[in-house]
Amino acid sequence: MKTNQNADILIQEVSKVFRTGFGKTKVGVEKLSLEIPKGQVIGLLGPNGSGKSTTIKMILGFLKPTAGTIWVCGNQVPSQTSRSHIGYLPENPRFPKFLSGRTLLKFYGSLLSLSGNDLNKRVDFLLDLVGLKAAAEEKVHGYSKGMTQRLAIAQSLLNKPRLLIFDEPMSGLDPLGRKDIRSLIARIHIELPEATIFFSSHILEDVEQLCSMVALLKKGHLQTFCSIEELLRSDFQNFEVSVRNSTESETKTVNGTDALIDFLNETKAKGWLISNISSQRRTLEEALFRDAATEARS
């Protein structure tokens, strides 16, 4: 099977069926095909049980697909080579509590074959990047949720990976913590412009702010995979139009450009004047809910 050199992740017809006991099975992901291009920030969306974590764990080699193949940076999964390109941040990362932040980063660095001065410099740089320099010698036992998350991000960057996989990076954080992590991800994208950042999230606002593309999973199937712009494209756009005549005024919201043209023609025919037109860009949440509602109606 051919691999696409322009794709950092290539998922081909992958299925995962879990055995739940007594001959019963549960489909985690079914015939999923996805090609993640290089250098993008991609959000993996979907409700609970949609297969987001299963997909991520198969990319990492933690779960073995029942069918299909996965390639990471041109290397078939599972392999050490494929993992050498990955930086991974698990959902709710936890560390051995008896070690300090610095010791932990050195430990993970050693597993990536880093050593000596290179490792020390990289650890110092990353502690600075994630804002943990002052707490570097403290045992992680005393770290807050936000600090633990930042340490986990630091360990994922040790090998300057080509592919960063973040599983729910903002999960369980307060608004300030979320903002910190969002800024950090944006900064990572600047520091490592070649790297692909693939992350799952429930928080659509974060995805909308950070991602260039989104993949939407539902019940183990890929529903949508497109750019954010495409998902929010103008034919779904709302316009708020204010019109008036000599005695009264009125504001109406119309959906889509065709409806806008019709309304404007109607207004003109009635002899009313248009005082204002403003476009209301849909949020990602609206786009996804609208798609879900459309699907439910059909």
Residue 37 CB, shortest distance to another protein, in Å, is 22
List beta partners, residue 33: none
Residues 144-163 that bind another protein (CB under 8 A): 152, 155
The secondary structure of 17-48, three-state, reads EEEEECCEEEEEEEEEEEEEECCCEEEEECCC
CB closer to another protein, 167 vs 263: 167
For Cα atoms 215, 219, 220, give the angle at the middle one, nearest 5 degrees: 60
Instruction: Specify the residue, 94 or 297, whose C-beta has the smaller distance to another protein.
Output: 94
What does the buried/exposed string (b/e) look like for 142-168 if buried means 16 or more CB atoms within 10 Å of the residue's CB? ebeebbbbbbbbbbbbbbebbbbbbbb
Type of residue at 108: Y
What residues numbered 35-64 form the site for another protein, per CB under 8 A?
Answer: 57, 60-64
Query: In whole angstroms, how close is the CB of 228 to another protein at the nearest point?
Result: 27
In terms of CB distance, is 151 or 216 closer to another protein? 151
Q: In angstroms, give the least distance from the CB of 47 to another protein.
A: 19
Total site size for another protein, rule CB under 8 A: 29
Q: Which of residues 65-124 bind another protein (CB under 8 A)?
A: 80-81, 83-84, 86, 88, 90, 92-96, 98-99, 107-108, 110-113, 115
Cβ burial of 186 (10 Å; 0-12, 13-18, 19+) is middle
How far apart are CB 115 and another protein at their closest, in Å?
A: 8
CA distance 210 to 196: 12
Decide whether 156 or 267 has the Cβ nearer to another protein: 156
Rounded to whole angstroms, how far apart are CA atoms 85 and 79? 11
The residue (of 85 and 189) whose beta carbon lies closer to another protein is 85
Q: Return the number of the residue (52 or 57) whose C-beta is nearest another protein.
A: 57
Secondary structure (3-state) at 162: coil
Give min distance, CB of 195 to another protein, in A: 15
Of 96 and 172, nearer to another protein (C-beta) is: 96
Query: Shortest gap between Cβ of 251 and another protein (angstroms)?
Result: 53
Using DSSP's 3-state secondary structure scheme, residue 278 falls into strand
Closer Cβ to another protein, 65 or 267, answer by number: 65
- Provide the 3-class DSSP secondary structure of residue 270: helix
User: Tokens standing for 120?
Assistant: 């020390």
Closest approach of Cβ 253 to another protein, in Å?
46
Task: Work out how close the CB of 76 gets to another protein at its nearest, in angstroms, rounded to a whole number.
Answer: 14
Q: Strand locations in 38-184, DSSP E?
A: 41-45, 67-72, 75-76, 86-89, 163-167
Binding site for another protein (CB under 8 A): 57, 60-64, 80-81, 83-84, 86, 88, 90, 92-96, 98-99, 107-108, 110-113, 115, 152, 155
